[in-house]
Structure 1
Amino acid sequence: MKKVLSVLLSIVVIFALGGCGSKKAAVVTDKKVITVGASPIPHKEILEAAKPVLAKAGYTLKIVEFTDYVTPNTALAEKQLDANFFQHTPYLKEFSKEKGLDLTYTVKVEIEPMALYSNKYKKLSDLKNGASIAIPNDPTNGARALRVLEKAGLLKLKSGELISKVDITSNRKNLKITELDAPQLPRILKDMDAAVINSNYAMEAKLKLTDSLVVEAKDSPYANVLAVRTEDKNKPYIKALSKALTSPEVKKFILEKYKGAVIPAF
């Protein structure tokens, strides 16, 4: 009888410990402080607008600022961040493939139209033969910039998504295309005839979309997204963050703050 009682007691203890372990595992699937990497404008500002919505849901948002297009994804993959918000879907897909990262996204938040800016010319028709044009040097934004130039009638390009300047089939003004790091483009504008600049860097440099020579079409597929590790996509805190970033409060903020320079994608 003692042996039987001892065995039964052991079983009860094992199940009790197992139950505690299950509860602990359930707790760690959620967290109350969410750390998100973002570029300063407009992403950090949009996250700030989402803070009160998250607070109502019981979460605190911690924002880590980045000024480049590489570090936020590596920091996310290395679990220094819970999510990041700075990039569009083609860039996330290409970067993850190239670096072998298991990243995905949850929601599309906003679109930042790319545009051609110049300190020397006020009209596209004034652009001279042999003019120097700078574009981003990463594959997705470089391709996107070339399509902006094609839309303006300055170039003709091969079909495809990840095109580069070697895919130019017609260059009627013999434009000299230079590829540079995206954050540098506003700073080198004084040394170039024009540059195709991402909206976030243009806004940081106080460049107005209304002063640009040509603007990307509003039906652009380059929506900026909330990027996460694939394993975390369905966790409660990620779902809460995704909901906050696509809330009516955030949409109103985007419309009122940026007046068309940033467009809600939800």
Structure 2
Amino acid sequence: MRKIDVPTLFKGIIALGLFLIVAVSPVFSQTEDKFSFDITVNSDQFFGFYPFFAGSYEVSETSAFTFYGILWSGGTGGVQGAGGGGWGNWTEFGVGMNFDVADGLSINPQVGITGGNLLSSGTAGPSIFGDGIVPNLTIGLDKARTEGEIYFGFYSPLRNKAPEGGTTLSYIHYWANFGVKASDFFSIGLHYEQLTNAGGSNVTSSTDVYQWLGPYIQFSDPKGKAFARLSAGGDLVEGNDSFFKVTTGLSF
């Protein structure tokens, strides 16, 4: 992979920031409260403990500017390593746009950037900003009696800091879940999630890290301000046993 010069990288980031400011400032100057913000904390046996935040600002009746961040560094889990804390304080931040395409159905393309050393050197090099780039897409379903989400993200190295004989890494991460709202307090559904090592500069084949499949239960504040979810079940990758994921969140 071609090495990216650090000054060039920062110039690109500054240019993107200025573009966003110019593009959205006329909309953001309105006084109406169109801002929403969600914080969730997650724990599973691979990534460990990792907080997540997501915000949006409505720019029209059917679209919103979005941003998000994942503090992968919170955990020390991971069957193949030391987790986010051991991957150079791995952190992810991104922006995008959300579009309401039908009643209760939304599409949110985003692009993120990571800091750390997982993608740029397979954890063997220094922790850097611009470790990787993460184009991703989330499709959300939220109707009166059903709920669901589909996520797909491609984690690709943005810079090559692998030492001689080392390798960069890339990953494909996706999940899909669907549930039924038994009431405004309780819902139940099915969760599938997969993480695949898609290869790297010295890796020629992809390998599945995990494939999780199992039910979930969720308890929600009827006013939409908080929820708690437990997902658990089997891991379809040979040699793995089971999975668990606990998530709780607050909306502001």
Question: Which is higher, the Rg of structure 1 or of structure 2?
Answer: 1
Instruction: Pick 1 or 2: higher relative contact order, CA cutoff 8 A, min separation 6.
Output: 1
TM-score (norm 1): 0.22
| Structure with greater helix percent | 1
| Structure with greater strand percent | 2
